Amino acid sequence: MNNHHELAEVLGKHEDCAFSASGVLVCTCGVSMQPQEVMDDMANLASHQADVLLAAGYRKPRTIATREEMDALQVGSVILVRGVALSKESDDEPAGLHWVPAGTPMGFTSGELALPATVLHEPEPRP
Ligand SMILES: [Zn+2]
């Protein structure tokens, strides 16, 4: 199953909402939603669908367009630059060779890498 089919199947379980006899807004999946005064029922359903997609693991890949954004990524981050995945191996390598392509010992500075880059992975923030 590809991403499109998986997301379509997930959304298909949450395709509509209606008020129950007791006046509660209920999704087709059976979950009761807490209507927000400022939102109409379709906006409440859309908010519920967004929660469902995030719970299913959907994330829009982040694109970075500046050296500053690249430098701000934590050690352990992985980016895709022109089809090559590179991981940030250090923050303090003296020559700034922080970015290392998988399977090679050779590092690159952020200034040597083409922009934009796509962020494939960011480690969880340290506690
Ligand atoms: Zn639902």
Strands (E), 1-127: 17-19, 25-27, 32-33, 62-64, 78-81, 84-88, 99-101, 117-121
pLDDT in tens, 22-76: 888 899 999 998 766 667 888 888 889 999 999 988 888 899 999 999 999 999 9
Q: In angstroms, rounded to a whole number, what is the distance separating the alpha carbons of residues 49 and 41? A: 12
- Ligand 1 centre distance from Cα of residue 62 (Å): 27
pLDDT in tens, 75-106: 999 999 999 999 999 999 899 999 999 889 89
Q: Strands 62-64 and 32-33, how do they pair?
A: unpaired
pTM of the model: 0.63
- Ligand 1 centre distance from Cα of residue 119 (Å): 30
Burial class (CB in 10 A: 0-12, 13-18, 19+), 110: buried
